[in-house]
Chains A and B, each alone.
Chain A
Amino acid sequence: MSLLRIRTVVRRHAYVLWRAPHRWFDIAFWPLMDVILWGSLGTYIARQDPSSQSSAPYLIAGILMFHVLFQSQIAVGTGFMEETWSRNLLNVLTTPVTELEYVAGTAVFGIAKVLLAMATLSVTAVAFFGFGLDEIGWSIIPIALILTIVGWGVGVANIGVVLRFGQGAEILIWGTNFILMALSGVFNPIDALPGALQPVARLLPSTHAFTALRAVLGGEPLPRDEIVSGLIGSVVFVVAGFAFSWWMLRIFRRRGFVTRFS
């Protein structure tokens, strides 16, 4: 692993972010809209039913932490896709950059995007709905860590699918976020999901992170069992993502799919 090469991957994507205003939608505009949507919904529910006073904080905290997963996933996914959109993939593949270094660079860049998006979300949540991150406290660190690692794992697996099936599969880069949002219990306990989906939801490490989040918001101490399960699951997730992508890359090289992207 070369730190210089990883740093250079970060620099490459920082240039792209700087020059592509539409990329700022991911880290500024969509987070802003999400807080407004979910915060307003929570406020409305609380007005209808005073016993649901906690709706707004639950929804806002859910969307806030979901953006940790979303940003880390999309930074890895779109980082790779940028090379295919600019038909630069062959150039990258013929440099000494290893697959691990490239993903590490996009993952580090993803952390920067998470922080930028969190800044937008936090300021908006405080300004419009009076919800501050202090309501989650230091528990935010292990919860965010699980979600970041899950995001990397999903992003890497998505790269594998695009390598194997071509650019048409890039819909997954965005699409998997909606699947995870629906199944991870971002806004509600997973026992509210249809029965058939609940076992699937339980397998997702992100579900443990959001369960822990709700417990903390409910005034309980951080549930260690959920955090440990989430951390172990997220590591399994990222290792599986890498293994899958490595396998797809091998097929990509064996079948000469690089010509699809150049």
Chain B
Amino acid sequence: MDLVLRADGLRKTFKRIEAVRGIDVHVAQGERMGLLGPNGAGKTTTLLMILGAVLPDEGSIHIAGFHLPRQRSKAMQHVGFAAGYLPLPDRLKVREALGVFAGWYGVRDHKNAVDDTLERFEITQFGDRLCSSLSSGQRTLVGIVKATLHNPRLLVLDEPTASLDPDIALKVRNGLLDYCRDSDAALLVTSHDMREVEMLTERVIFLARGEVVANDTPAAIAELYGHDDLEGVFLELAETHGR
């Protein structure tokens, strides 16, 4: 199995609070995986470690074969990241901001890359608007465009559709599925929308209190916990492990 992400034994403690307690995350090329758990389960810390923004206390991370943090720059060439809560550079127009990110990702023909990606997500109309003038939903969409500009092998999305209307969220989900299928990219996504996770992912890792409590297909996890869907599992875990 060709692993695009291999994170082993990750541990992270902040001021004596163990946020992540020795978890493994393996994502194969083309695989779509969800990282779920109640608030405080360690999802964001895990993602930030995978993205190289936070150093783990223990454990190792390899992306596309490159070690973090030693080969961070090379590793990040294969990663696209977007989060529903992250703004874009506010003094730049959308096309300019995307062109800047394309350049940072090493895309030489940034103009064509930006146009093609805006077209893929059907938002060419935003191109000449200032990033600061976008609604939060539109900004999220542009963030996802940013994450796919350089055809990454691994897409990391933190709450990608959190602020989107249902119709736009559907468009984004379809766009992401098309992207992953067409480019054989892997997807690692966190979301509080369990239906979305069931639609987007083939495998799910459930975290609770910094530990992996389940790692299987959405249907198998639901069955394991005796629920019809992931929503029930989420509610049970949130209650069991307390928030």
Contact = CB atoms under 8 A, between A and B. Distances in A.
Contacts of A51: none
B190 interface: no
Contacts of A12: 89, 92, 100
B108 interface: yes
A15 B94 CA distance: 12
B54 A253 contact: yes
Interface residues of A, number: 34
A11 B104 CA distance: 11
Nearest to B147: A94
Contact-size category for B: 35 or more
Interface string B103-139: 1111010000000000000000000001000000000
B9 interface: no
Nearest to A251: B55
B45 interface: yes
A71 B105 CA distance: 28
B53 A86 contact: no
B91 A88 contact: no
A52 interface: no
A4 B106 contact: yes
Given A12-B92, A254-B55, A95 B105 contact: yes
A194 interface: no
A92 B103 CA distance: 12
A95 B91 contact: no
B74 A96 contact: yes
Q: Is the interface of A mostly helix, strand, loop or mixed?
A: helix
B87 A87 contact: yes
B235 interface: no
B170 interface: no
Contacts, number: 98
Contacts of B87: 86-88
Contact of B90 (A86, A90, A256): A86
B72 to A, nearest CB: 8
Contacts of A5: 103-104, 106
A256 B54 contact: yes
A16 B106 contact: no
A86 B101 CA distance: 15
B36 interface: no
Contacts of B74: 96
Contacts of B77: 96
Most buried by B among A9, A88, A250: A88
Nearest to A23: B91
B51 interface: yes
A224 interface: no
Given A8-B100, A96-B77, A258 B89 contact: no
Contact of A91 (B55, B88, B108): B88
Given A96-B74, A96-B104, A87 B86 contact: yes
Nearest to A83: B89
B48 interface: yes
Given A90-B53, A93-B51, A96-B104, A15 B91 contact: yes
A93 B52 contact: yes
Given A15-B96, A90-B86, A91-B101, A258 B48 contact: yes
A2 B73 CA distance: 10
A86 B48 CA distance: 19
Given A12-B100, A86-B89, A96 B53 contact: no
Interface in B26-82: 45, 48, 51-55, 69, 72-74, 76-77, 79, 81
Contacts of B89: 12, 15-16, 82-83, 86, 88, 91
A98 interface: yes
Given A12-B92, A94-B79, A96-B77, A256 B45 contact: yes
5 cross-chain pairs, A with B, having the tightest CB-CB distances, nearest first = A8-B103, A95-B104, A19-B91, A96-B76, A94-B81
Interface of B: 12, 14, 45, 48, 51-55, 69, 72-74, 76-77, 79, 81, 83, 85-92, 96, 99-101, 103-106, 108, 130, 146
23 contacts: A4-B108, A5-B106, A11-B99, A12-B92, A15-B100, A19-B92, A86-B89, A86-B90, A87-B87, A90-B53, A91-B101, A91-B146, A92-B104, A94-B81, A95-B104, A96-B104, A250-B55, A253-B54, A253-B69, A254-B54, A254-B55, A255-B14, A259-B48
Interface of A: 2, 4-5, 7-9, 11-12, 15-16, 19-20, 82-83, 86-88, 90-98, 250, 253-256, 258-259, 262
